[in-house]
Amino acid sequence: MPNKTQRFREKVLGFPNYFKHWIRDFKGGLTILSILGLLSFPLVTTNSYFLGLFILAMIYSIFAASWDLLAGFTGKVSFGHAIFLGISGYITAELLKYYNFHWLSALFFGVLASVLIGLGLGYMTLRLKGPYLALGTLVIGIICQKVFALNPLKPILHGDEGISGLPALSSSTVVIYYVVLIFMIITFIVLIRITKLNIGTLFKSIRDDEIGSEAAGINITKYKIIAFMISGSFAGLAGGLFTMFNRSISPLIFQPLYSFYAIIMAALGGLATISGSALGAFLFVFLTAIFVDFAEISLLIFSIILIIIIRFTSGGVLKPALERLKDLWDILLGR
Amino acid sequence: MGTILEVKNLTKKFGGLTAVNDVSFEIHRGEFLGLIGPNGAGKTTLFNLIFGSEKPSSGTVRFDGRDITGMKPYEIVNLGIARTFQLVRSFRFLTLLDNISVSCLSPRGKKVAKQYGIDESASSILAAVGLVDKASLPPVILPHGDLRKLQIGKALGTNPQLLLLDEPFSGLSHEEQEGITDLIIRLHDDGVTVFMTGHVLRELMNLVPRVIAMHQGKYITEGSPQEVANNKIVLEAYLGKGSEQLA
């Protein structure tokens, strides 16, 4: 029977082979192409508007992916994910502007705060299920929005105006682009890896049948809270990056709209896929940019699109689109 | 032999309704014990009380000498009790293999499964219940009888000493019942203590050497299937008043 050391060695030595197969395989190839595409985009254009669109899309990808881990994989559908955006964003902004922290440390503490919020939120919503969880998280988000806008709390929370005039991460949009891209790649590698590990299976068991999971000896309380903390940490990362990119933050970041963005983007791309969140986020950002004249009813349009997608496909846009592309890929590789 | 489970004066009240009323009995290690009673007798509630899914209003449950009253289900599972449910449940979007892997990943199950690898252990459990050829498929393709086998497999992943089977035969065809019966007998021969409730009396009575009867939440009697089947109160419970003439 192979012991631990032998199996580990097999894994490490087998990696180059595994990698080769993965690339030739459709999913790996597509991933590599996408990463290469994103990496080389600034070489195509240095126009800040287009770079900014991509940066926004990448930040939203991280946000949507974090939500997908919680909702798609653990079954906890939160309607208040913007809470993480906001808390992390405010901490990052506060440290950057008033305490002159380096942007990395400010971001780090923002993420740390999100982890703690995740702990708190996870604990508070332990007994809530389905619509009650959605409602509870939605309400907490709205409360945050109101509290942060309160005049009496202005000295600490900066009220309506929030914090503005943050120092730029860098004078070059291209640098910002690559920083965000690196964070996005790290995020997706980590989140996808998590879903493939044992803990991913445990999350899914909680999603599919909480009582059954408990009957299988799993401490569902512990894993629900862990899921909230992991999800929260990446949502917080998105929040910090968002704040730094906009160089400002206000209570509006807590509004339900941003929470809905996460849901729409993750669902667009396909729930419980993680990688779909990237597709959903980019689609969403591009479509809102193209239809900018319809901005006011954009949410309406997207809700309708979402309903259509849910009604007619079983896994968001990603799955059917990937089926077509996969056939194309096989043809290209001569199979 | 030793007592593996001791239930004392267990009572559960839901508002005005007493679902389990002052029930006491013992299960011996390695035993094969049945629990019968008409619908509403309190069998499933009793299971829930033992398993921690419900907190008793009063009374105690001791497992292996240790007071487990009011403990949470996952704690109780990791002490060595596993159960199946009356309404079959499964992890719908996981493969059969992963369904079993979940219990192999419990703290108790892991201790055993780690030695051979989680997937390997889950595989061998699937093989033991006869489902290994469908390992990479989701539970949705399984017929009812196989779903019950899957449930038993999931329970086995936690390496239980005591297995609580809630109505394992309900809804099964005769062949499926035989399949489950064989599986349960094999488990019992391997040393697992089995406590099962039954509605399909014939199968159960032929299977277990000792049976406890409940009615309206109360413990009525216990004994060999023959003794219990001839008990006046049991007959009344199942067939109505006046049927003790049939005894």
Q: What are residue A160's phi and psi, to 5 degrees?
A: -50, -40
State pLDDT tens for residues B92-141.
Answer: 999 999 999 999 999 999 999 989 999 999 999 999 999 999 999 999 99
Containing A142, the helix (H) or strand (E) segment is helix A130-149
Contact yes or no for B74 and A214 at CB 8 A: yes
> Which residue of A lies nearest to B109 if distances are taken between CA atoms?
A217
Helices (H), B63-167: 73-77, 96-104, 107-116, 118-129, 144-156
State pLDDT tens for residues B225-242.
Answer: 888 888 888 877 777 665
Alpha carbons A265 and A257: distance in angstroms, whole number: 12
Helices vs strands, H then E, count in chain A: 15, 2
Return the number of other C-beta atoms located less than 10 Å from residue B204's C-beta: 21
Q: What are residue B18's phi and psi, to 5 degrees?
A: -95, 105
In angstroms, the separation between the Cα of residue A244 and the nearest Cα of chain B is 39
Alpha carbons A11 and A17: distance in angstroms, whole number: 10
A2-34 per-residue burial string, b: 16 or more CB within 10 A, e: under 16: eeeeeeeeeeeeeeeeeeeeeeeebeebbbeee
Residues in chain A: 335
> Which residue of B lies nearest to A7 if distances are taken between CA atoms?
B117
Helix (H, G, I), strand (E, B) or coil at B214: strand
State pLDDT tens for residues B165-219.
Answer: 999 988 888 888 888 899 999 999 999 999 999 876 677 778 899 999 998 899 9
Report strand pairing: B66-67 vs A248-249. Answer: unpaired
**Mutant choice from A7, A211, A213 vs B, greatest count of B C-beta within 10 A:** A213
Stretch 107-126 of chain B: residues touching chain A, C-beta under 8 Å: 107-109, 115-118
Contact yes or no for A212 and B53 at CB 8 A: no
Report pTM. Answer: 0.88
Alpha carbons B227 and A274: distance in angstroms, whole number: 60
Residue B50 has pLDDT above 80, yes or no: yes
Contact yes or no for A217 and B108 at CB 8 A: yes
Alpha carbons A8 and A4: distance in angstroms, whole number: 6
Chain B residue numbers touching A72 (CB-CB < 8 A): none
State pLDDT tens for residues B24-33.
Answer: 999 999 999 9
Alpha carbons A110 and A117: distance in angstroms, whole number: 10
- Residue B206, pLDDT score: 82
DSSP letters of B158-209? T--SEEEESSTTTT--HHHHHHHHHHHHHHHHTT-EEEEEESSHHHHHHH-S
B1-80+161-247 has which fold?
A: Rossmann fold (3.40.50)
* Nearest CA-CA partner of A275 in A170, A210, A184: A184
B14 touches chain A (CB under 8 A): no
Q: Give the residue carrying structure tokens 């779909």.
A: A276
Helix axes A198-208, B96-104, angle to 10 degrees: 110
Alpha carbons A59 and A276: distance in angstroms, whole number: 14
Alpha carbons A268 and A55: distance in angstroms, whole number: 19
The number of C-alpha atoms within 13 Å of A202 and in the hemisphere containing its C-beta is 25
Give the pair of three-digit tokens for residue B9: 């004066």
Q: Give the residue carrying structure tokens 């990479």.
A: B136
- Residue A180, pLDDT score: 96
Contact yes or no for B73 and A212 at CB 8 A: no
Which residue type sits at B157?
G
> Which residue of B lies nearest to A219 if distances are taken between CA atoms?
B74
Angle (nearest 5°) at CA A129 between A114 and A135? 65
Residue B83 pairs with which residues in a beta bridge? B164
Residues in chain B: 247
Chain B residue numbers touching A218 (CB-CB < 8 A): 74, 102, 105-106
Contact yes or no for B94 and A216 at CB 8 A: no
Chain A residue numbers touching B102 (CB-CB < 8 A): 201-202, 205, 213, 216, 218
- If you ran DSSP here, which 8-state letter would residue A70 be given? I
Tell me if A180 sits within 8 A of A246, measured CB to CB: no
Helix (H, G, I), strand (E, B) or coil at B86: coil
**Mutant choice from B74, B76, B88, B150 vs A, greatest count of A C-beta within 10 A:** B74
**Mutant choice from B91, B124, B165, B166 vs A, greatest count of A C-beta within 10 A:** B91
* Nearest CA-CA partner of B50 in B15, B13, B18, B82: B82
A71 touches chain B (CB under 8 A): no
Helices vs strands, H then E, count in chain B: 10, 10
Q: Which residues of chain A have pLDDT under 70?
A: 1-4, 7, 10-11, 14-15, 18, 21-24, 295, 309-310, 312-323, 325-326, 329, 333-335
State pLDDT tens for residues A180-194.
Answer: 999 999 999 999 999
- Residue A318, pLDDT score: 61
* Nearest CA-CA partner of B63 in B48, B51, B45: B51
Structural domain spans, chain B:
1-80+161-247, 88-159
- If you ran DSSP here, which 8-state letter would residue A168 be given? P
Alpha carbons B116 and B1: distance in angstroms, whole number: 31
Tell me if A100 sits within 8 A of A93, measured CB to CB: no
Structural domain spans, chain A:
45-255
A281-318 per-residue burial string, b: 16 or more CB within 10 A, e: under 16: bbbbbebbeeeeeeeeeeeeebeebbeebeeeeebbbb
Size of interface A-B (CB pairs under 8 A): 77
Contact yes or no for B102 and A220 at CB 8 A: no
**Mutant choice from B47, B102, B121 vs A, greatest count of A C-beta within 10 A:** B102
Tell me if A113 sits within 8 A of A240, measured CB to CB: no
Helix axes A173-196, A26-44, angle to 10 degrees: 170
